[in-house]
Amino acid sequence: MLGKFNVLIDFNKVNFQSLNYKNLNGITNYSFDCDGKCMTFTPLDKELELLGNMIKNLYPKGELISPLQSTKTRFEKALNDFVKICPGHISKY
């Protein structure tokens, strides 16, 4: 186990219209563009700060990669329901 971390996502900065499908090692993941930084990653233990910074740098700024893995249809249905609750960052594109 690497340790415990807090991962906070500001869904108000996520542009849900920018849904992108990524195939990583044969697994389909989903990503979205963000208006700036939409995720913060903080270790709960001070001793893990170096590891936390390394992991944080692996995630691209301005993009949210979903850890969820499901079929495209199921993901899109869930996304439709979620966007009704939190519309996210509104973009004309």
pLDDT tens for each residue of 59-80: 777 888 877 777 778 888 888 8
Average pLDDT, the chain: 80
pLDDT tens for each residue of 20-44: 887 767 777 888 999 988 888 777 8
pTM of the model: 0.68
Q: Within a 10 A sphere around the Cβ of 33, how many other Cβ atoms?
A: 19
Tokens (6 digits) for 53:
């910074």
Reading phi first (left if > 0) and then psi (alpha if -120 to 50, else beta), residue 25 is in left
Q: Is the pLDDT of residue 47 over 50?
A: yes
Domain boundaries, the chain: 5-85
